[in-house]
Amino acid sequence: MTDDAPDPDTNDTDPGSDAPAGWLAASRQRLDKTALAASADTIGRVVRLADGIARVTGLPDLALGALMRFDGGTRAFAHSLDRDGIDAVLLDGTASVEVGEGVHDTGDVLRVPVGEALLGRVVDPLGRPLDDGPPIHPDSTLPVERPAPEIIERDLVSAPMDTGLLVVDSLFALGRGQRELIVGDRSTGKTSLAIDAIVNQKDSDMICVYVAVGQRATAVERAIAAVRRHGNPDRCIFVVAPASAAPGLQWIAPFAGMTMAEHFRDSGRHALIVIDDLTRHAATHRELALLTREPPGREAYPGDIFYLHARLLERAAKLSPELGGGSLTALPIAETDAGNLSAYIPTNLISITDGQIVLGAHLFAAGQRPAVDVGLSVSRVGGKAQRPALHQVAGRIRLDYAQFLELEMFTRFGGMSNPRVRAQIARGERIRALLTQPRYAGLRPGDQVALLAALGDGILDDLPVDLVPDLRDRLPDRLDRDAGPALARLQDSGRLDDALRADLTGVVAALVRELAPPGATRDNSPEGPDTPGTGEAA
C-alpha cells in the first residue's frame, strides 16, 4: 500500500456511496426522533370568483370570520357559511386569485397590529403603512372583532371631552366614553367638525384614531394634512380604506380602528375615534350581503345591519377603576339625503348612540360654521359630563337662542317696536355670532366660560355683531395677560364663584370698550336700531 492510498479505518464514506458517514448518522438520529404518524391537511378550492368574493368548497369545519390563506398568498375572511360552501371576502382584490386555487384555514381570526408604533402613521385596515415611513413593528396584534365591555366593567361617563367648539361644549357637552353621532347632508361640515375635535386634543392626554371608509383620496389627504398642520399628528393614527380599496378592507376598517383605539383604553389611557363614515360602511355591507345572496330587507340592507353597527359602537365605553379607568369616545359620522333623519341607517345609528349633532344644509348655505342645528341636536349625557363652570353660564343659552330663531322668522315681515322683543333679538344675534366659529380655532374652557358669562351679564349687548369675531379671536391672549390667576383658579376648582366671574367678565368688558367705544350703535342692521332682526339669516 502506497502512502497516498486512503486508510480504510479513517475513510469518511460508505462503500458504494457518495454521502458522508457523519451526515448519514445524523439523518438516522433525526429519523429515530421523528414520530411517524398519519397527518391530514384540509385544503379547499376556489370554485367561483367575482367582485371581491371567492366561493370556496372543501373546508367544512371553517368558522365564521376565520382567516383563510390562498396558495398565492392572498388572505380572506369567511363572511357567510352554508351547506355547500363558504363565501370568502378577499382583502387584497381578485387580481392574484384564480379559480381552482387551493385555500387553507389558518386556524386564526383576522388580527391587526396595535401599540405605540402606529402613532403618527397612515395605515390601511390591516396595519400596513401607506405613508413613506419605516416598517411598523407593533407591540402585539389583536382580533378586529372583540366583545364590548360588559355593564359591570363600565363606569359612569362623567369626565368632559372638550372639542374646542363653543356650540358643542356649551349646548351638547360630550363625555369621555360617550358615542355621539355627527349627521347631516353631504358637504355640510361633518368631517370638519370631527377634525376640529381631533385638533383640539393636541395638548390633552387623548389618543386620536381617524378612520376613513370609502372616502375620496383627496378628501382623506386634506383631513390628514389639517391634523398635521394644526394638531399633534404624533398622537394620532390614520386608518384609511378609500373608495378604491377592496370592499373587504372597507368593511373591516371601522373594526380595525376600534381595536387599535381599544388598546390604549385597556391600558388605562383615553382615546377618541372618528369613523368617517358609517353610511358608506353600511353600503359596503349591503354590497357584500347581496353578492353572497343573503336575503335583502329594508332598502336592500340585510337583516343584521343594526347588529353590525351596534356591536361596533358598543365597544366605546368608560371602563371602571378596577380595569384601569380608561375611556374610548366615538364620533361616528352618517350622511343623510335632503335632511331626512328618518332614513334607515340614520335612525339605526341615532338609536345606538348617546346623542347626535345634526348639521343643516340651510345653515351651512347661510354661512354659519359649524352648521349645527340646535333644535335637532342633543346629547344624552349632557350636563353630567360638562364642566361645572361651563354648565353654570350656559344654562339659558339654548332656550334664548331657540326663542330668537322663532322671533326672527316673524321680524322678516316687518320690525317690532316692543323693547323686550328687540332686546331678545339683539341677544340672539350675538349668541349666533359667538356660536359661529372658524376652523382650527378651538377655544379653551376658560375662554368659553368668560364669553358666556359676559353674554349673560349683558356685556356684549353694546358690541356690534360684526365685531364679535374680533372679540373671540383676541380674548385668549387678553385673558392670559390680565386674568392668568383667575384662569388658574378656574382650572383647579372647576367652579365659577362671584369673584372669579367678575375677574373674567371684567377682562371681556375692557376688550369690548376697546373694540366698540361708548356711543357705538347697538344694532348694525341697515334699517337702524328700530328694525332689528334683519342681520345674518338663521
The distance of Cα 185 from the centroid of its chain, to the nearest Å, equals 18
Residue 380 catalytic?
yes
**Shortest CA distance to 149 belongs to which of 303, 281, 322, 304?**
322
Give residues with Cβ within 8 angstroms of 257, minimum separation 6.
125, 209, 210, 211, 237, 239, 273, 275
Nearest-angstrom CA–CA distance, 209 and 207: 7
Phi first, then psi, for residue 236 (nearest 5°) are -130, 150
Q: Which of 87, 102, 92 is nearest to 54 (CA)?
A: 87
Task: Point out which residues pair with 208 in neighbouring strands.
Answer: 236, 272
Contact criterion met (CB below 8 Å) for 530 and 415: yes
Contact criterion met (CB below 8 Å) for 330 and 211: no
- For residue 289, count CB atoms less than 10 angstroms from its CB and return exposed for 0-12, middle for 13-18, buried for 19 or more: buried
Sequence-separated (6 or more) residues with CB below 8 Å from residue 352: 179, 306, 309, 310, 313, 314
Which residues are paired to 55 by β-bridges? 48, 87
What SS3 string covers 336-387? CCCCCCCCHHHHHHHHHCCEEEEECHHHHHCCCCCCECCCCCEECCHHHCCC
Say which of 75, 228, 311, 380 is annotated catalytic: 380
Greatest extent of the chain over all pairs of C-alpha atoms, in Å: 135
Centroid of chain to Cα 297:
28
Q: How far is CA 288 from the centre of its chain?
A: 23
How far, CA to CA in Å, does 489 sit from each of 394, 447, 478, 504? 19, 14, 17, 11
> Please, what is the angle between helix 419-435 and helix 468-482, to 10°?
70
Query: Residue 283: how many CB atoms within 10 A of its CB?
Result: 17
Point out the residues that are catalytic. 380
